[in-house]
Every structure is written in C-alpha cells, then in structure tokens.
Structure 1
Amino acid sequence: MTIPVEHNWDLHLSVKSDRRWFGFNSFAITGIAAAFDFILLIAASAAGHLFYERIVFGGLADPSLYVGIGLLVATIFVLAMFGVHAYRPGEMLSFRRQLVLISALLPAVLLFLLAVVLFLKLDTTVSRGAIITTSVLSMGGLIALRLFWHHHLHRAVARAAFPTRRVLLICPGTMPTEPVVQRAALSGLSVKYTMRIAEADLALASTSDAYEKHGIAEVDEVLVAWSDFANLRALEECLITLRQFCVPVSVMFGGIVGDVVEGFAQTVGERRVFQTHRPPLDVYERGLKRAFDIVFSIAALVVMFPICAVVAVVIKLDSAGPIFFVQSRKGYSGRAFRILKFRSMSVMEDSTDVRQATRNDPRVTRVGSFIRSTSLDELPQFWNVLRGDMSVVGPRPHALVHDDLYGALIAQYASRRHVKPGLTGWAQINGCRGETPTVDRMADRVRHDLWYINNWSLWLDLKIVFLTMVCMVDRSNVY
C-alpha cells in the first residue's frame, strides 16, 4: 500500500468525497451487516418450509410458524455475533474468521431450537425436514453475504473510501508507517498527511508552523505513533505544541511501552496503572476450567478409543520399541510431570540433548510421520488432562532442556507457567505450530501464550478447541 502523504494525495480519494455514501461508514456497516443477517435468517426459515412442503407434499402451507422460528433463530444468532464483536468492520474483512464463527454459532442456535422443540413436545408440529432445509439455506446465505462483504470492504479500503476521519500521522524519522496506515484504515481513519520528526529535532517538534505546513488544519484528528524511546524529549515537545490546535490527539506506542499500555487499566490514587501480568485464575475460574477439562477429556477418550487402539497396534507393527513415549515437562508453576504421547520416533530422548523434529527427520518412523502431522500422537495426553497435569487448552509444554534455553533468552518465557500447559493453545491456531528453529519464532509463540493467559475465558477455550480442529487440516508446518 502506498503511504498517503501531502505531495501524492489524490483529491478523488479524499474522505469528504466518499462520505455521501453511508455504506462505508464504520458504524453503518455494523448495523447493515447485522440487519442483513437478521432478514436473511427469517427469509431462509420461511423459504425452507415452503420449499420442503412443495417438494415433499406438492403444496404450499402457511409459513407463519416458520417465520416465528426464523425470528427466534435470527435474534439469538445476531446477538451472539454481536457478543463476539463479529460485525466490526475489521472482523468483517476476515472471511476465515467469519466462516468459523458462522460454522460454530449457527449449528449451536439450531441445536438449541431443536432442544426447545423436543422439550415443549412440538416435534409433531415442526417438521424436521423443513428445519434441515432451512439450515442449508441459512448457511449458504450467510456465507454468500460474507463473500459480498469481504469483496466490497477490501475494495473500499483500497480506494480509501472506508475511513470516516482524516488524520495527520506524526512519527519518528525512521519508523515504517505502512502497518500504521493499514491498521488506521480498518479503524475508520484515513492518513491524509504524514509528518516525520527526526532524532533530536526539537525545533521541528516545538514549532507550530511545521504542523500547519503538514496540514493540521485540514484533518479531523492527530495520531502520534511513537517507537523511538531514546527520543522522548521530541515526543514531549510535540505533545506540548499540539495543545495549541483544537484537534483531538491520540498516541500509539510500539515496543515494550505498547505491550504495557495494552494491559488491564486501573486507577491507583490519581494515576492510571496497567497490569502486565494477570494473576493466576481464581477458585471459580480454576473450577470452571477443570470441569471443562474433565468432561471434554472423558468424551474424547471414549470417542477416540478405537482410533487409539488402531494407532497402538500399527506403531507396534511398524518399528521396535514401546507404544508410548514418556518425557519430563514443566507444568503449572514450574512443577515437573511426565507427558504421555504415542511414540513417533525411533529414539526416546529425555535428557539434556533433546532435538526438535525437523522436516525429513530420520528419527521419525513411517507411522510416526503420519500421526505427528495429524496430531494423533497427542491423544494420550488426555490422560494427563484427567490426572490434572495438563489442561485441554493452554501453552504447549516443551522439553526441559528447551525450557532452560528459551527461559534464558526470552524474558517473559517463564510467565507461560501461570496456567497449566495444554494440548492445544492460542499460539497453535495462530500459526505457531511445529518446529521453532529461531528465537524469534519461539518469542512469537510466547507472545500468543501470554495473550491467552491475560484474556482467558471459557468461551475462548471453546473457540480454540473448535479452531484447532479446523487448523488440523493444514499439516504443512508439522513433521
């Protein structure tokens, strides 16, 4: 994306010229998207009933009952989508996330509807065939709407038609601005002018004429994006000078300061403080998470037992050695436990010399290659979950030697142990799955793990479990 600056700004891309079309207003998009979903679900319910009656019985019946059912389904679905902020423009741009939410929420709403029908003994009144037809039409319609939004919103962002507020971006001289411009566009901001303040250029930062030359009179807002913490004096002068102008000013930090201000904010005296490390889960949260772990693990072991039996037999036939692989790992608060896996290698490494698996690793057996790429080797860890060593969702545990290595290289690495390790986690569904050949890759995994710890909820665990099943289709980074 080309960074919009004063000398290359094209008038026909200005926000003013596109404000006449309400469809790209960020608030309007939220309401319109929700309204479209609401109307579509009601229409799909009525159409599903009429279509089913016409095909099966050759006639047309009164659709009023199914209009009422559609009204109930549409209300619950739209409220659920609002609850996960799915109608925000930035969320609407992600087709994959929308598809996942629709695939999770719509079946849940329909199952709730069927439960109500059975509980109230209305199964003789409500046709299950019409419900199935309605489900297919609803799913297809919602996906079609998401394709429409995905296509048109991306075009709107590319044309600068989506934002609603013009912005003067102020940043250090060497800071790359394209990521900031892209994030601003998704938040309803159009970067019209860019002003760079070079290192130690206090004269520029404290001169009001410089801001006027960079178009401060023509913008609705000033956004200061700062990452040069060795040059805080220039930032201070900049903020002091901006007080002369009647325009709102926002500051966005990067680096360690950005991580701090993203924490939970509270007041101590007259000062705002930010919580950078969430305390361990309280008694209620631990009980809720433990109950979910037990119920899910028992269900998984019962359902997956035939698969486990087949895997065990095939491992024994494929290569010499035990069926299970046991290795020491660190769990909650650094306590050691023995993790259980199906053996996928010809070695049983559990010492100070443990190497991660790499592509075409000769240690991996023929069966091991398949069960590793499909994560079937992790199934015995449901036993670790039942024992209380692990959780279904949490930071993935690493070998002890890797814990010691990365603990010395990554400052926040030990914070991963504020919760129990998990079979899957937020990092794994965000692309941090498999080998970590560099410290940066491990640091990215740690960053995702800490976000999970600081934002835990039962809904988040359910979401991660569902997305894990979706992500398991991609086996490119696991070997």
Structure 2
Amino acid sequence: MSNVPGLSRLAPPDAKAASMEIPPGSGEIPRRTWKELLRPQFIEHSVLVADYVFIVLASLVFSLTYHLIATGDINNEKAFFSIGIIVAANFTAMMAARRNYRLKNLTLLTRQARDTIIIWCGVFGTLTVVAFTLKVSNEFSRGAATLFFAGGLATLLSWRYLVANRISHALANGSFARKKIIIITERGLNASSRPLNELRRYGYHPIQTCEVSKDEISSLVITGSLRSKLADVIELAKCEQIEDIYLLIGWQHRHAIDGILSALAVLPISVHLIPDESAARFLNHPISNVGSTWTTELQRAPMTRAELAAKRVFDVGLATAALITLLPLMLVTALLIKLDSRGPVLFLQKRNGFNGRAFNIFKFRTMHVLEDGPVIQQATRNDPRVTRLGRWLRRSSIDELPQLLNVILDDMSLVGPRPHATSHNSEYEKVIANYAFRHHVKPGLTGWAQVNGLRGETTQIEQMERRVEHDLWYINNWSPLLDLRIVLQTIVTALRQTTAY
C-alpha cells in the first residue's frame, strides 16, 4: 500500500509477527491463539454462567454437608438441586439487570460486593416468604438453608474478588482479543483522546490512523486529498478484514462527517462517531430515553423514590423511639429553663430545608435573646447572650433534642447537612461553590461534618468550606448503613464535644 500523507500505520505489539504476511491465494488460514478468544462478551457471559453453576453447586454441597453432619445420611438432594436452580436464576437475572456482568463493572469490586450482598439477601428473603406462604418451608431443613445462605454468599464474594483482580490485570496488560479497527481523526485529537484510550484498553486494535487536516475538515465539500485518503482506508478495510471504523472529529463539522460517511458507504461495516471533548463530558452522565428522544442526565436526584422511602421509615421509627425514650429528660430540661431565666422554653428560628424551603426549627432556648431575621450573630465562646443553663445544654447538644419533632413533621431527617439560618445561607451561597447542593436532601439533626468535628462557630470561610465538602460527600455516598453509623457516632461525639458554645 502506498504511503499517503496523514495515513500512518500504528506498529503492533509484535512487529515480527505483523510482518509475516500470508501470500495471496495460499489458502492458509492463520491459527488463533487461546488469548484471541478472550473477547469482552465471552468473559461477560462466562462470569454469568459461572455464577449460575457456583450457586447450584453451593446449594448441593452445603445442604448435603449439613445433612451428613446432622443426621449422618444424605437425602432430598433433588429438592436442593431445584432450590439452587431457582436461586441461581433469580440472582443472575437481577445481577444482569443491574449490568453487573459488563466488563467494566466486573472490575469494580466495591460495587460487585455491595450488589452481591443486597441481591443475595433479597432473593433469599423473597423465597423464604414464598415458601412460608405456600406452606412448603417445613419440607426443607432450616439449618441446611442457613448454611447454603452463608456458604453461597461467601463463595460468590470470593469469586467476585478473583474476577475483579484478574480482569483488571488482563485489561492493564492488553490480554483481550484485538478487534481490528481504523480510526479517522482530526489532526491533533488522537494522542489525547480518552475514548480512544478506552477502545485500546478494551481490546480494540487500531490498524491504521487516518489524520485529516483542518482545511480538509473545514471544507464544505470533500477535497481531493481527503478523497484519496478515504480510498486508501476503503482498500485497507477490504484487505485486512476491518471490523469497525471510528471517527474522532468535532461534532460541529457536520459537512465533513456527512461526506466521510457517504464515501465509506461502500463498506459493509459499522462506522462509529466518537464524542469530541465538548460532548464527552456530558455523555459521561447516565443516558435516558424520552419517547424517540434521548437525554443525558447532567444532574440526578440524590436519592431514588425507594431510597427516600427507606430513609423516611428509618427517620420516623428512630425519631419516635428516641422521643419516647428521652421525653423525661426533655420535660426536666423544660422545667430547668423556666427556673433559670425568663422567656419561652422553645426557640423557633427560620431555616432552609429541602429544595431551599423555609421551615421553623425547634430548639430549647439557651439565650436571653430570640434572634431571627436578616442579621443573626453566631454564638461565640463566653457569649454573654447564653444563659447559665444554656451553656451546658449547648455543649451536651441537649438543646437540639426538640428537632426530633422536626424529623417527625418531615421538615428534617435524622442525618443530613445541618440547616443554617436563612441569613447565613444567603451569605455562604455567594462565596462557596456548590453550597446550594446541600439543599438537595433534607437537613439533618446530625451529619457527616458534625461527627468529624466540624461543629460550632465558623470564624473563617475555610471552616464552612470544609463543612460543605463533608456534606456533599454524604449526599453522594448516602446509604442506610452510613446513616446508622453517623447516628451512633453522634451519641459518642456529643458526650465529648467541646466546640459548641
């Protein structure tokens, strides 16, 4: 093939092997090594089948082992084989629905472990309810089922750990089959393109790279030089059995893209358009379809409806239990406030909650004044406005207990970003980037920032920036277990807190 300016051959990893060409008409077909069978689709399907087999085997092995130890006899193996098939079918179907068999997701050990535990527990819980409802649970040993549950989960987690490590290692070393492609790129975009690096990593091997100059791209018609380059691309695609052609061209060059597609129409292979830099950063977000139109979700709701429901159940249940348990303490506190100083027992102040909605927050009064409005001064050390009793209430966080009512009234959550006075919100939104994202969830009685020591007066803007960073981390990493962890840490932190006054 003649050397055409802008059309360069990328040297394959094994130059010696690449130089050994099969003479035309020799009839000899090069043998494929076992590594060439390692296509991403093959790996994905293999992991799914392995999950199925492991679950069925776990059902048999652990159930029969239990019976052998407990009774000294092996029986009912057909029933446990059937249970294994049912569990395996449900588990693999749900894992596939979560796209956990995609090659890239198989390398994410944290995601794999989390979904494996949740789906495994969900499948067992559902089947247990079904068995109880149909009155067939007595036919199976509880001990065997428990051993199958624990042993099967341990087996799957160990298998997931092995898969994640092996696939990550294989991707890093380019062990997957090399799918031959041609790249047509705008000059200067090839070297720094993240999508092209991803293609190479996942087994796509660029045989040729055709660079197109800016003049050829900007022209409203196909130039002679570009037509010549495309003719060579077409010739190479036919000779080398190219499987795909990828275009890396700025999406604004519509005429050039249409012209190239028209020229490549003679080839019965796929032509793909890679997102340019301006589009790639948006297409990294989830894609959804609305009728015949697709959209990219640039900003998602922090929680799904199911997650919101779970969090609400957690909040109401725990807040109600805490309110009943702490009611004697709260009544004594109210009496002491009345005896200590003049004024109401409760202090109400406007705060901003979910979506910026204003609400009245409840607190035990700890000051001689009741400040609420456009200007509010933060409490400082030895603040003369704080009462004698109020100083102890603030340090022990007992003054925050009435906010359990805010939780029950759905103004707040037990855990979330702490709500600030409306006047402080207006100030911080002007100087701290992403401050408004704190309002994407309901404010909390306690939060991730508070259990990490970020509580009390903020004399410098950097202190509030650190709080916001912790709040945003919580929003992006929320889970029921994280909420429970923060609640438990809050109890410990409140007993030794010295920064609130």
* TM-score bracket, shorter-length normalisation: 0.5 to 0.7
Alignment pair present for 1:154 and 2:172:
no
Corresponding residue number in structure 2 for 1:248: 271
Cα distance, 1:159 vs structure 2: 2.5
Selected match of 2:215 from 199, 202, 219? 202
Report the secondary structure of 2:175's partner residue. coil
Q: Structure 2: how far apart are the matches of 1:158 and 1:308?
A: 56
Distance 1:146 1:289, change over 3 A: closer
Contact 2:52/2:89 (<8 A) preserved = yes
Question: 1:163, 1:185 within 8 Å by CA — same for their partners in 2?
Answer: no
Match of 1:421 in 2: 442
Cα 1:439–1:238 shift into 2, 3 Å: farther
CA contact (8 A) 2:116 2:156 kept: yes
- Identity across the alignment (%): 21
Q: Cα distance, 1:395 vs. partner?
A: 8.6
User: So what's the TM-score if we normalise by structure 1?
Assistant: 0.62
1:81 aligns with 95
Q: Choose from 382, 395, 410 the match for 1:388.
A: 410
Q: CA deviation at 1:171?
A: 5.8
Question: How far apart in 2 are the matches of 1:114 and 1:120?
Answer: 10
Q: Secondary structure at the match of 1:337?
A: strand
Are the aligned partners of 1:44 and 1:137 in contact in 2 as well (CA < 8 Å)? yes
User: CA separation in 1, counterparts of 2:262 and 2:195?
Assistant: 23
C-alpha change, 1:413 and 1:128, in structure 2 (3 Å) is: same
Q: 2:479 aligns to what SS in structure 1?
A: helix
Separation (CA, whole Å) in 1 of partners of 2:81 and 2:110:
30
Of the structure 1 ranges 158-167 and 243-252, higher mean CA displacement relative to structure 2 is found in 158-167
The answer on whether the counterparts of 2:59 and 2:81 sit within 8 Å (CA) in structure 1 is: yes
Post-superposition CA distance 1:293-351 (Å, at most 9, x none): 54332333367779989x99xxxxxxxxxxx9997543344321356799xxxxx9998
Q: CA deviation at 1:27?
A: 2.4
- For the 8 Å contact 1:26–1:89, the answer to whether it is kept is yes
The corresponding residue for 1:44 is 58
1:104–1:131 CA distance, 2 compared to 1 (3 A): same
2:83 matched residue in structure 1: 69
Query: What displacement does 1:29 show?
Result: 2.5
Instruction: Name the structure 2 match of 1:173.
Output: 188
Q: Partners in 1 of 2:196 and 2:485 — Cα distance?
A: 30
| Aligned-partner Cα distance in 1 for 2:421–2:170 | 48
Q: Could you report, residue by residue, the CA deviation over 1:356-401 in whole angstroms, capped at 9, with x for unpaired residues?
A: xxxxxxxxx9xx9999xxxxx9998775443122468999867656
Q: How does 1:79-158 map to 2 (within 5 A)?
A: 79-158=93-172
**Larger Rg computed on CA atoms:** 2
Distance 1:257 1:62, change over 3 A: closer
User: Counterpart of 2:275 in structure 1: which amino acid?
Assistant: M
Q: Determine whether 1:465 maps to 2:483.
A: no
**Contact 1:37–1:78 at 8 Å: present in 2 too?**
yes
- Deviation, 1:95, is 0.7
Q: Which residue in the other structure is 1:331 paired with?
A: 353
Deviation at 1:130, TM superposition (A): 0.7
Query: 1:297 matched to which residue of 2?
Result: 315
Contact kept in structure 1, 2:417 and 2:442, CA below 8 Å = yes
Quick check: 1:204–1:210 contact (8 Å CA) kept in 2?
A: no
AA of the residue aligned to 1:173: G
Give the partner amino acid of 1:63. Answer: E
Aligned counterparts of 1:381 and 1:162: Cα–Cα separation in 2: 57
Residue 335 of structure 2 is matched in structure 1 by none
Query: SS at 2:275's partner residue?
Result: strand
**Secondary structure in 2 matching 1:61:** coil
The Cα shift of 1:96 comes to 0.7
Does the CA-based 8 Å contact 2:217-2:256 persist in structure 1?
no
Are the counterparts in 2 of residues 395 and 421 from structure 1 also a CA contact under 8 Å? yes
Contact 1:171 1:225 in 2 (8 A): yes
Partner of 2:248: 224
Gaps of 5+ in 1: 313-323, 343-347, 356-364, 372-376, 429-433, 453-462
How many angstroms apart in 2 are the aligned matches of 1:445 and 1:173? Answer: 41
Give me the whole-angstrom Cα distance separating, in 1, the residues matched to 2:474 and 2:212. Answer: 32
Give the secondary-structure state (helix, strand or coil) at the position aligned to 1:244: helix
> Counterpart amino acid of 2:353?
G
Aligned to 2:24: none
* Structure 2 gaps, min length 5: 1-7, 19-29, 220-224, 331-345, 365-369, 379-390, 449-453, 456-460, 494-498
Q: CA deviation at 1:267?
A: 6.6
Letter in 2 for 1:105: I
Q: CA deviation at 1:52?
A: 0.8
Mapped to 1, the partners of 2:71 and 2:143 lie a distance apart of 12
Question: Quick one: distance in 2 between partners of 1:327 and 1:14?
Answer: 77
- Structure 1 residues 403-434: Cα deviation after superposition (integer angstroms, max 9, x where no partner): 546755799976886x653659xxx9xxxxx8
TM-score by length of 2: 0.60
- Whichever residue aligns with residue 256 of structure 2, its letter is E
Q: What amino acid is aligned across from residue 300 of structure 1 in structure 2?
A: L
The answer as to whether partners of 1:181 and 1:191 remain within 8 angstroms in 2 is no
In structure 2, do the counterparts of structure 1 residues 278 and 41 end up closer, same or farther at CA, with 3 Å as the change threshold? Answer: same
Whether contact under 8 Å (2:350, 2:358) holds in the other structure is: yes
Aligned to 1:24: 38
Name the CA distance, whole Å, in 1 between partners of 2:124 and 2:48.
Answer: 18
Match status 1:259 vs 2:282: yes
The Cα shift of 1:141 comes to: 1.1
